[in-house]
Structure 1
């Protein structure tokens, strides 16, 4: 299997700041030394997901998932460990050194990506064959060039119900993978059918350069059939995180620091081939906060190039507020009634279109022009302002929120105080604002020994070798008693036997068990609370051994009662009792600071 040298993994970890990486996926709020967000791995209203820059780790106090930057990318993007390392290496421009083994185990996502690549190849091939005349004619009529067709691998899905299925059956693709891929529908009897039939196919790439899904435009005259059909959610394809064309446009968007957002595939392709290559489109789904967050990784400004009809204008309002909430500057392209970006560009030409982009209305100006507050009746104006205030509630930047509402108050001719009162009133009743948990809940240890086990595991994550040497010599894993603690101790001792100096971040990478890895992450996150680790370590070691001896003494008492009149057995048990009592008295002498300098007995 593929193996990446530890030194390379360490360079990749060091080259990808965890706040920068996770901040590209989540809206992080700084509180104290840490950053907080709502957890992407479970549903929650309160932000319990913590990112600690000093230790380069994350941890969710809600679902107890945790790890480092590689762990996050692996779990969020649903990759293998190697795929996550590769992705971060490319992000940091670090050469990826690998040791190739005899076999490479592919993840489920990697298999689906390979399947989609093969499907795209087949669709492209079918576009060149005889039965695709209708598809070619449609693309020509819409002005799509051969170069664009080639660059975006536009294809054709024939009308037959089993074109793609036959190909994958020939390649012996498992029925489980077919079902998972989203490329097929399944009857009640379990029979598969091609999802896309008699449609022009638009492959949708993710930011890793993989074809993750498809959009299909029907060529049928049947009005009951959906004009556009898109891939469903799969382990590979997440509609809320993918934008059509972003994989190809990201460089141009970064260079311009401005993104043009259109609604559909054809609008995107027209703008792209006209030279507007900082353009993206939705992928057959409503615009989401994740889309806005994704765009914020590449641009500072967004120009909404939506249709001029009412549906397009309503979409612009919703999208604009989502982008503002992620601190992007927003403007709206003005095009004449009855036009869409595609038709307007073809009719007026590139120069006029460019001029319209430069003169695009700032979002507040667009709201004023759309709603025309000067002509609104009181009730309608009140409802509109309530909607605007509700949308502004999601703005994380308090200063920007105030400036925005002040400008709205001028445009809609209401007092700023009335808008702020509405904002405060909504906050008191809503419960939707970002509540940040600053510290983990107090742990309820059953007894002193239980607390000692927990803190000892914490201390073993500190970089000092002395704690690790002493614990291995004096502390068998069985003394940790609880299953999770024992498994964690075994994992730590195993790692220490390979490398006594391994740091916590690297150690977390070596743990395959998700429960142990998350537990270790939490322990590491809380280790700063250890004020005097030397004293805590010695006290905890003594408490644990005292508890062990006390339990042995209690067992001896039971055995002595059970021995009845067996004097020899009673005598033997009494000697054992005395030895344990003497050993207990010696503990305070053993567990002193001198232990850190002593020569230790060899551990098993």
Structure 2
């Protein structure tokens, strides 16, 4: 493992020399204090790619790519975080100091490496059998050619053939010195007592590659007509292969996905091959398994735009709706393409060239609202009950979209398509969001804390139970609520021509960043205040203290009753005087404090995940988390600047 001191040293040096790093790949010309060149991540004739040596960052104003020197190298060379650090360390003559592995970590690392080497050997074995053996050429290669696949596509994806003989591969692997233990762990060999046999015998082989291009697993298609045997067989889960985190073809597609800023998602291996053969390479497959959040996040590392291509099978379409919701939940822009009846992506692509395919896709793809509406309206027909259920179903999908602006756009479109009042749809969306937040809260916070948090200070509740996980933002959230209920009508900018109230300011700031609390009672108070403002009746302290909802009444009383203790937070700002007179300073400050602490919490979680994935050897996941960590550190630096230069730790 690379120690953090070394990582920080490499980052500091590389960012201070970012022009030198980028100049190895891009011809830069000085323009003022910055440098300009053609972006390496998309095709452009007019330079829009800028490098700022003063800030240590790059930014393309054409495609939107940006970041520091490490981000540039990782993206351009498709390197993992660790490999990029080593690359930059070598470039700037920085010795990479690595911490020693514990015996357990060393064993895990050696085991992973042994399984990776074995998988590479298996890939070569199957590939050579396809092209060099009589059985492979007549059976395996013959099948692929009848399916219309060219030799260059077969070679590109390293397709192969596993002989029909029961243990042909196992015997050869053992002969070459590979251990039976790893043959079993990779799933290449089935071992039962004294019985051992090849898992994939008599099948055309589709190697599954990691993001770095290493063979980590296989899919095999049987060529005999045997109803008792599965047509496709995949490698089982192993130390190096987790099917829920892998999409087929990502290694071959990642650069084109980045360049096109778009990804096509199909179902099977041959669908991917057919698209590549037609000239479209920004395509991946879920390999026949149900789409997972990890797979979507993998694609999201290269683009936020995804088109899912389905054939017209009704049963398959219904099952696809869950996958669409997962894509939406990850903040992706999703479109759906339904192929004509009787066509699948494989057959459809083979009859068309790249231009014809793209023309058809662009003309027929739909956003998820239109797709889901047309699909479910056909079933509902004129039944008002079914139509109401349809609306609820679509609103549920909209509610899981993380970006508030995107949600509002979809609500407007849904309102137009289904002829339902936009305000009602927005209310229902908000309810579903709050319900999910409360479910998450109850699932993660012990019952004892749920009861205590509405009546006593969180520290008191935490003291009663070692199992309690206190809300790290408790102090700031409660102080914000206290300002809301006590000073909500007062102006936060009394000297401006158009003053904004404390309540309006707080609601705007929290809404734009989706800063919901883990405590549902706090969210309920915000909701009640928002609803009152919408009805032009700004809630007052009396409204909350005398509220018919006992939770709101208790919380309001608790906030004001413990006002002296809560106001100690003002000491952070150097304020120990009348809070009401200093609202213009206190309110923005405490909101910014909340954001600062929230980002600090996220950074802490990201660092733990980076350490976890580094120990397990999952470099792809570690790279993803590290990229997010760097982004959040930049956000923290910006907020710290707003907070008058608070030290970042």
- Report the TM range for the smaller structure's normalisation: 0.5 to 0.7
Query: Could you tell me whether the CA contact under 8 Å between 2:328 and 2:397 is conserved in 1?
Result: no
Instruction: Work out the CA distance in 1 between the residues paired with 2:7 and 2:437.
Output: 42
Counterpart position of 1:378: 384
Counterpart position of 1:346: 350
Query: Could you tell me whether the CA contact under 8 Å between 1:334 and 1:356 is conserved in 2?
Result: no
Q: Deviations over 1:350-386 (max 9, x none)?
A: 3321101222222222223323368342232233333
Instruction: Work out the CA distance in 2 between the residues paired with 1:119 and 1:260.
Output: 29
Within the candidate set 309, 314, 319, 2:318 is matched to: 314
Counterpart position of 1:256: 260
Q: Tell me, yes or no, if structure 1 residue 86 matches structure 2 residue 89.
A: no
Query: Could you tell me whether the CA contact under 8 Å between 1:86 and 1:96 is conserved in 2?
Result: no
Query: Could you tell me whether the CA contact under 8 Å between 2:399 and 2:430 is conserved in 1?
Result: no
Instruction: Work out the CA distance in 2 between the residues paired with 1:316 and 1:413.
Output: 25
Q: 1:513 to 1:222 in 2, by over 3 A?
A: closer
Instruction: Work out the CA distance in 2 between the residues paired with 1:407 and 1:393.
Output: 14
Q: Tell me, yes or no, if structure 1 residue 367 matches structure 2 residue 372.
A: yes
Q: 1:244 to 1:402 in 2, by over 3 A?
A: same
Query: Could you tell me whether the CA contact under 8 Å between 2:7 and 2:85 is conserved in 1?
Result: no
Q: Tell me, yes or no, if structure 1 residue 269 matches structure 2 residue 273.
A: yes
Query: Could you tell me whether the CA contact under 8 Å between 2:248 and 2:286 is conserved in 1?
Result: yes
Q: Tell me, yes or no, if structure 1 residue 400 matches structure 2 residue 397.
A: no
Structure 1 stretch displaced more, 360-369 or 270-279: 360-369
Within the candidate set 136, 141, 150, 1:145 is matched to: 150
Query: Could you tell me whether the CA contact under 8 Å between 1:5 and 1:98 is conserved in 2?
Result: no
Alignment of 1:54-73 (within 5 A): none
Q: 1:243 to 1:16 in 2, by over 3 A?
A: farther
Instruction: Work out the CA distance in 2 between the residues paired with 1:441 and 1:113.
Output: 49
Query: Could you tell me whether the CA contact under 8 Å between 2:3 and 2:97 is conserved in 1?
Result: no
Which structure has the greater CA radius of gyration? 1
Q: 1:209 to 1:93 in 2, by over 3 A?
A: farther
Instruction: Work out the CA distance in 1 between the residues paired with 2:199 and 2:8.
Output: 44
Q: 1:273 to 1:346 in 2, by over 3 A?
A: closer
Q: 1:513 to 1:295 in 2, by over 3 A?
A: closer
Structure 1 length as normaliser, TM-score? 0.56
Structure 1 unmatched ranges of 5 or more: 18-69, 71-81, 447-504, 515-524, 526-604
Instruction: Work out the CA distance in 1 between the residues paired with 2:354 and 2:277.
Output: 10
Instruction: Work out the CA distance in 2 between the residues paired with 1:283 and 1:96.
Output: 43
Within the candidate set 106, 117, 121, 1:118 is matched to: 121
Offset of 1:10 from its aligned partner? Answer: 4.0
Within the candidate set 126, 136, 144, 2:141 is matched to: 136
SS of aligned partner of 2:247: coil
Offset of 1:186 from its aligned partner? Answer: 3.0
Within the candidate set 193, 197, 200, 1:196 is matched to: 200
Instruction: Work out the CA distance in 2 between the residues paired with 1:414 and 1:96.
Output: 64
Within the candidate set 260, 282, 285, 1:281 is matched to: 285
Structure 2 unmatched ranges of 5 or more: 16-69, 71-78, 446-456, 466-606, 617-632, 634-649
Query: Could you tell me whether the CA contact under 8 Å between 2:256 and 2:281 is conserved in 1?
Result: yes
Q: Tell me, yes or no, if structure 1 residue 332 matches structure 2 residue 336.
A: yes
Query: Could you tell me whether the CA contact under 8 Å between 1:89 and 1:95 is conserved in 2?
Result: no
Query: Could you tell me whether the CA contact under 8 Å between 1:259 and 1:299 is conserved in 2?
Result: yes
Instruction: Work out the CA distance in 1 between the residues paired with 2:615 and 2:91.
Output: 28
Counterpart position of 1:229: 233
Counterpart position of 1:387: 393
Query: Could you tell me whether the CA contact under 8 Å between 2:203 and 2:221 is conserved in 1?
Result: yes
Offset of 1:97 from its aligned partner? Answer: 7.1
Instruction: Work out the CA distance in 2 between the residues paired with 1:231 and 1:258.
Output: 29
Q: Tell me, yes or no, if structure 1 residue 411 matches structure 2 residue 417.
A: yes
Offset of 1:190 from its aligned partner? Answer: 5.8
Counterpart position of 1:545: none
SS of aligned partner of 1:156: strand
SS of aligned partner of 2:253: helix
SS of aligned partner of 1:217: strand
Instruction: Work out the CA distance in 2 between the residues paired with 1:214 and 1:423.
Output: 42
Query: Could you tell me whether the CA contact under 8 Å between 2:369 and 2:394 is conserved in 1?
Result: no
Within the candidate set 152, 163, 166, 1:158 is matched to: 163
How many residues are paired up? 386
Within the candidate set 127, 130, 139, 1:127 is matched to: 130
Structure 2 length as normaliser, TM-score? 0.53
Q: Tell me, yes or no, if structure 1 residue 178 matches structure 2 residue 183.
A: yes
Offset of 1:254 from its aligned partner? Answer: 0.4
Q: 1:323 to 1:131 in 2, by over 3 A?
A: same
Instruction: Work out the CA distance in 1 between the residues paired with 2:149 and 2:438.
Output: 45
SS of aligned partner of 1:200: strand
Higher relative contact order (CA 8 A, sep 6+): 1
Counterpart position of 1:474: none
Q: Deviations over 1:470-513 (max 9, x none)?
A: xxxxxxxxxxxxxxxxxxxxxxxxxxxxxxxxxxx9xx99xx99
Instruction: Work out the CA distance in 1 between the residues paired with 2:111 and 2:423.
Output: 55
Instruction: Work out the CA distance in 2 between the residues paired with 1:278 and 1:299.
Output: 10
Counterpart position of 1:246: 250
Root mean square deviation, CA, Å: 4.1
Q: Deviations over 1:374-427 (max 9, x none)?
A: 834223223333332333332212332232233223212333344345445545
SS of aligned partner of 2:164: coil
SS of aligned partner of 2:342: coil
Q: 1:190 to 1:400 in 2, by over 3 A?
A: farther
Q: 1:7 to 1:185 in 2, by over 3 A?
A: same
